[in-house]
Amino acid sequence: MAVGEASFPAMPVIEGIRLGTAMAGFKTPGRRDLVVVELPETTTLAATFTRNAFCAAPVHVARRHLEAQAPRYLLVNTGNANAGTGEQGMRDAEASCEALASLAGVSAQSVLPFSTGVIGEPLPVTRLCDALPDALSALNADGWHAAAEGILTTDTRPKGATRQIDIDGHVVTINGIAKGSGMIQPNMATMLGFVFTDAAIDEARLQPLLRAAVDASFNCITVDSDTSTNDACTLAATGRGASIDSDAREARFAAALTEVLVELAQAIIRDAEGATKFVTLEVEGASSRREALDVAFTVAHSPLVKTALYASDANWGRILAAVGRAPVEALDVSRIVIDLGDVRLVENGGRAASYTEEAGSAVMAEAEIAIRIHLGRGDASATVWTSDLSHDYVSINADYRS
Amino acid sequence: MAVGEASFPAMPVIEGIRLGTAMAGFKTPGRRDLVVVELPETTTLAATFTRNAFCAAPVHVARRHLEAQAPRYLLVNTGNANAGTGEQGMRDAEASCEALASLAGVSAQSVLPFSTGVIGEPLPVTRLCDALPDALSALNADGWHAAAEGILTTDTRPKGATRQIDIDGHVVTINGIAKGSGMIQPNMATMLGFVFTDAAIDEARLQPLLRAAVDASFNCITVDSDTSTNDACTLAATGRGASIDSDAREARFAAALTEVLVELAQAIIRDAEGATKFVTLEVEGASSRREALDVAFTVAHSPLVKTALYASDANWGRILAAVGRAPVEALDVSRIVIDLGDVRLVENGGRAASYTEEAGSAVMAEAEIAIRIHLGRGDASATVWTSDLSHDYVSINADYRS
Residue burial A307-318, b: 16+ Cβ < 10 Å; e: rest? bbbbbbbbbbbb
Which candidate from B86, B118, B328 shows the least CB-CB separation from A350?
Answer: B86
Read off the DSSP letter of residue A179: E
Q: For residue B316, list chain A residues with Cβ-Cβ distance below 8 A.
A: 84, 120
Per the CB < 8 Å rule, is B325 touching A400? no
Question: Number of folded domains in chain A?
Answer: 2
Does the residue A304 lie in any domain? yes
Cβ proximity of A52 and A227 under 8 Å: yes
Residue span of the structural domain in which B143 resides: 18-270
Does the residue B9 lie in any domain? no
Which candidate from A51, A118, A389 shows the least CB-CB separation from B317?
Answer: A118
Residue B395 has pLDDT above 60, yes or no: yes
Q: Are residues B265 and B306 in the same domain?
A: no
CB proximity under 8 Å: B 143-172 to A: none
Supply the mean pLDDT for chain B: 91
Per the CB < 8 Å rule, is A229 touching B321? yes
Q: What is the pLDDT of residue B224?
A: 81
Q: Are residues A326 and A359 in the same domain?
A: yes
Q: What is the pLDDT of residue A78?
A: 93
- Say how far apart CA B349 and CA B336 lie, in whole Å: 7
Q: For residue B183, list chain A residues with Cβ-Cβ distance below 8 A.
A: 304, 321
Label residue B153 by pLDDT band (50, 70, 90): confident
DSSP run (H or E) holding B274: none
Q: Are residues B312 and B246 in the same domain?
A: no
Indicate the residue type of B160: G
- The answer to whether residue A318 neighbours chain B at the CB level (below 8 Å) is yes
- Max mean pLDDT range (B186-190, B252-256, B269-273): B252-256
- Say how far apart CA A319 and CA A303 lie, in whole Å: 11
Which candidate from A185, A315, A328 shows the least CB-CB separation from B401?
Answer: A315
Q: Are residues A243 and A350 in the same domain?
A: no
Q: Are residues A297 and A265 in the same domain?
A: no
Annotation says B190 is catalytic = yes
Taking the CA of residue A226 and the nearest CA in chain B, the distance in Å comes to: 6
Does the residue A2 lie in any domain? no
Boundary of a domain, candidates A253, A270, A287: A270
Q: Are residues B303 and B199 in the same domain?
A: no
Does the residue B12 lie in any domain? no
Residue burial A188-208, b: 16+ Cβ < 10 Å; e: rest? bbbbbbbbbbbbbbeeebbbe
HEC string of A254-301 equals HHHHHHHHHHHHHHHHHCCCCCCCEEEEEEEEECCHHHHHHHHHHHHH
Q: Which is higher by pLDDT, A186 or B178?
A: B178
Does the residue B161 lie in any domain? yes
Per the CB < 8 Å rule, is A317 touching B84? yes
Q: What is the pLDDT of residue A402?
A: 39
- Say how far apart CA A207 and CA A210 lie, in whole Å: 5
Boundary of a domain, candidates B270, B301, B335: B270
Cβ proximity of A205 and A95 under 8 Å: no
Q: Are residues A288 and A322 in the same domain?
A: yes
Cβ proximity of B185 and B225 under 8 Å: yes
Label residue B402 by pLDDT band (50, 70, 90): very low
Does the residue A10 lie in any domain? no
Q: What is the pLDDT of residue A117?
A: 87
Find all residues with CB under 8 Å of A330, minimum gap 6, and list them. Answer: none
Taking the CA of residue A287 and the nearest CA in chain B, the distance in Å comes to: 17
CATH number at residue B68: 3.60.70.12
Enter the ipTM: 0.83
Taking the CA of residue B354 and the nearest CA in chain A, the distance in Å comes to: 14
Find all residues with CB under 8 Å of B91, minimum gap 6, and list them. Answer: none
| Sequence ranges of the binding site of B for substrate | 153, 179, 190, 273, 397, 402
What phi and psi values does residue A323 have, to the nearest 5 degrees? Answer: -60, -40
Residue B188 has pLDDT above 50, yes or no: no
Q: Are residues A95 and A142 in the same domain?
A: yes
- Say how far apart CA A374 and CA A371 lie, in whole Å: 10
Catalytic entry in A44, A162, A173, A190? A190
Q: How many CA atoms lie within 13 A of A380 on its CB side?
A: 12
Q: Are residues B61 and B109 in the same domain?
A: yes
- The answer to whether residue B361 neighbours chain A at the CB level (below 8 Å) is no
Measured in whole angstroms, how far is the alpha carbon of residue B205 from the centre of its chain? 22
Q: What is the pLDDT of residue A306?
A: 94
DSSP run (H or E) holding A227: none
| Sequence ranges of the binding site of A for substrate | 153, 179, 190, 273, 397, 402
Does the residue B331 lie in any domain? yes
- The answer to whether residue A310 neighbours chain B at the CB level (below 8 Å) is yes
Q: Are residues B295 and B385 in the same domain?
A: yes
Which candidate from A119, A323, A390 shows the least CB-CB separation from B317?
Answer: A119
| Sequence ranges of the binding site of A | 153, 179, 190, 273, 397, 402
Boundary of a domain, candidates A270, A300, A321: A270
Q: What is the pLDDT of residue A401?
A: 57
Taking the CA of residue B189 and the nearest CA in chain A, the distance in Å comes to: 13
Q: What is the pLDDT of residue A187?
A: 60
Per the CB < 8 Å rule, is A349 touching B317? no
Q: Are residues A218 and A285 in the same domain?
A: no
Does the residue B8 lie in any domain? no
Q: For residue B83, list chain A residues with Cβ-Cβ distance below 8 A.
A: 317, 320-321
**Local confidence pLDDT in tens for the 402 residues of chain A:** 688 877 899 999 999 999 999 999 987 788 999 999 999 999 999 999 988 888 899 999 999 999 999 999 999 999 999 998 889 999 999 999 999 999 999 999 999 999 998 888 899 999 999 999 999 999 999 999 999 999 998 888 999 999 999 999 999 999 999 988 877 776 644 578 899 999 999 989 999 999 999 999 988 888 887 877 888 889 999 999 999 999 999 999 999 999 999 999 999 999 888 999 999 999 999 999 999 999 999 999 999 999 999 999 988 888 998 999 899 988 998 899 999 999 999 998 888 999 999 999 999 999 999 999 999 999 999 999 999 999 999 998 887 553
By CA distance, what is B391's nearest residue in A?
A391
| Sequence ranges of the binding site of B | 153, 179, 190, 273, 397, 402
CA distance readout (Å), A58 to A89, A118, A136, B319: 8, 14, 20, 20
Cβ proximity of B214 and B57 under 8 Å: no
Q: What is the pLDDT of residue B239?
A: 92
CATH number at residue B342: 3.10.20.340
Neighbours of A137 (CB within 10 A): 11
Residues B326, B332, B333, B339: is their CA dihedral positive or negative? negative
Q: Are residues B164 and B249 in the same domain?
A: yes
Mutate: best of A312, A397, A399, partner B, most B CBs <10 A: A397
